[in-house]
Amino acid sequence: MTMTWTVEQVIALSPDDKSTKNGKSLATASKWQTLGTNQQAIWGECRGSGKKPYRTQIDLSEPAFRCSCPSRKFPCKHSLALFLLLVNQVELFTAADPPDWVQEWLEKRSQTASRKQAKATTTDPEAQAKRIAQREAKILAGLADLDQWLQDLMRQGLATAQNQPYSFWEQAAARMVDAQAPGLAHRLREMASIPHTGGNWPSRLLAELGKLYLLVQGYQRLATLPEAAQAELRSQIGWTQKQEDLLTSPSPMVVKDTWSVLGKRITTEDNLNVQRVWLWGITHQRPALILSFGYQNQLLDTSLIPGTQISAELVFYPGLHPLRALVKARQPDVDLIPPRGGAANIADAIAHYGTAMATNPWLVQFPLLLTTVIPHRTDQQWHIADTHGHQLPLQSGFDPWPLLALSGGHPVMLFGEWNGHSLLPLSLWAGGRFVPC
C-alpha cells in the first residue's frame, strides 16, 4: 500500500452526503463476492440488483476510481464502500495478481500517462508562436472594447447599473470570450449580481470595476512591467501555463517541505468544476493552492486528501503573490501533526491579508490559519472571535453548529478561505484531532 488511510480521509473523497451514507451501508463483507489487493490497487465485486455484480477498482497511487455501475458520481458509493472496507477490515482482502478487468484498466492508465508525456515533447515551436501571436491580437482588440465599455459605464454613473438587465453584463462577457480572455469574462459575470445584493453594493461594484480597469490598463502595457507582474496579468486574463512548461521553466520557485492538507473545496464556474486544495508547509509556514479542473462528470484529482500530510516538492506558478503550485514529487507521510505558524490573532491575520492585497489586488480567496479562535453568535450573525475580542463574520450559507459543537466553546485552530468580507471554514483542530468542515 502507498499509505495508511483513515475513515475521515475516505469520507473526504465523497461527492455528497448521500453517497457517503450509501457507501457506509455497502461497506460490509456480505455485500461483496470478491475482494483483492496488490501493492498498487484494490478491487472487488459488489452484489447489486442485477445478475452481474458491480466491478469496482481503485488505483491507490492517486487514488483513482472505476466502477461498472451506472452512477455518474466520482467516486461512486461502491468505490467508497470498497475503500471503507480496506480501512476497517483489511483482513478481508486477498493478496493476489489483479484479474484481467483490473489489469487492463491499470495498463490503460499507464499508457495514457505515457502518451501525454510524449505529446508534450513534440510541440511545434513555430506553430505555437503563431497561435500565441494570434491570441495576443484578439485579446488586445477585446481590451480596447472593454476599456470603452468601462468608460461609458462610469460616465453614466453607477446608479444606472442597478437598472441594467443581465444581458448588459453578459454581452460584455461574451465579447471577452470571443477575445479569448475568459478570466475577464468570469469577472464580468460575477459583477452582474452585485447591484442586486446588499445595501453597500455601489462600493463593492466600484472596487470590482477598479480591479477590472487595472487589469485592462496593465495588460495593454505588459511589456513595460516586471516578469512577476506580467505572469500575474496573463493568469488573470485567462492564459494557462502547461504543467510541463512550468516544470522546465528557467527559474521556477521550488519549495520542499512537509505539507499538511488542510482543506478542499469544489465550485462550479461556467460549467467547469474547479477544485481548490490548500496545503500548509510545516517548516516554511507558507500556504499553497493546488487547482484541478473537470468538465461535467470528469473526475477531479483525488490524490490530496484533507487530513493527510505529504513530504513533497512544490513548484509555484509565477505571479505577484504566488499561491498556486504544482506537486513535482511527493512521498506519503502518515504522521499528521498540527501545522505550525498561522496567525495568533485576527488582527495579525488581516494584516497578512492586507500585505498580500497590496502586492496582488486581484486575489479572490486568501488562506487564513488562525491558531486560537472561538465560534459565537452576535445579532443574528455567526462569527469567530479571538482572545482579544476581534472577530470575523462567517460566510452566509455555512452551517456553524458542527463547528460550535466541536469547539465546545473553547479555542480551536481553524483554517479557511477569506474573501475580504467573510470567512469560509474548511477545517479545524479540536482535541488534537483534524476535522474537515
**Whether residue 112 is found in the same domain as residue 186:** no
Give the model's pLDDT for residue 433: 84
Residue with the larger pLDDT of the pair 66 and 380: 66
Alpha helices, DSSP H, located in 91-240: 100-120, 125-156, 166-178, 182-191, 201-220, 227-237
The residue among 198 and 266 whose pLDDT is bigger is: 266
- Residue that wins the pLDDT comparison between 411 and 123: 411
Task: Domain count for the chain, please give it.
Answer: 4
Confirm whether 274 is domain-assigned: yes
Q: Which helix (H) or strand (E) holds 270?
A: none
Contacts of 395 (CB under 8 A, 6+ apart): 419, 422, 423, 424
Q: Say what the pTM is.
A: 0.76
Please give the average per-residue pLDDT across 96-124, as a whole number.
79
Q: Is the pLDDT of residue 334 over 60?
A: no
pLDDT greater than 80 at residue 296: no
pLDDT higher than threshold 60 for residue 2: no
CA–CA distance, 436 with 8 (Å, rounded to integer): 8
Q: Which ranges constitute the DSSP H helices of 238-377?
A: 243-247, 346-359
Q: 73 lies in a domain?
A: yes
What pLDDT digit, counting tens, does each position of 144-179 carry?
Answer: 999 999 999 999 999 999 999 999 999 999 999 999
Give domain status of residue 20, yes or no.
Answer: yes
Q: What pLDDT does residue 1 have?
A: 44
Q: Report yes or no on 67 lying in a domain.
A: yes
Give pLDDT tens digits for 6-54.
888 788 888 888 999 999 999 999 999 999 999 889 999 998 888 899 9
**Considering 280, 300, 333, which residue would you say is the last residue of a domain?**
333
pLDDT at 42: 94
Task: Examine the fold and report which residue of 194, 215, 237 is the final residue of a domain before the chain moves on.
Answer: 237
Neighbours of 257 (CB within 10 A): 19
Query: In this structure, are strands 391-393 and 381-385 parallel, antiparallel, or unpaired?
Result: antiparallel
Query: Mean pLDDT over residues 213-231, rounded?
Result: 96
Same domain? 88 vs 174: no
- Whether 181 has a pLDDT exceeding 80, the answer reads yes
State mean pLDDT over 89-118: 86
218 occurs within a structural domain: yes
* Mean pLDDT along residues 404-417: 92
pLDDT at residue 295, as a whole number: 75
Other C-beta atoms lying within 10 Å of the C-beta of residue 246: 18
DSSP state, 388?
Answer: T
What pLDDT score was predicted for residue 340?
A: 82
Which domain covers residue 18, as residue numbers? 7-120
Among residues 93, 120, 147, which one ends one of the domains? 120
Contact assessment for residue 345 and residue 392, using Cβ atoms and an 8 Å cutoff: no
Is 50 in the same domain as 141?
Answer: no
Proportion of the chain above pLDDT 70, given as a percent? 95
Q: CA-CA distance, 331 to 339, in Å (whole number)? A: 18
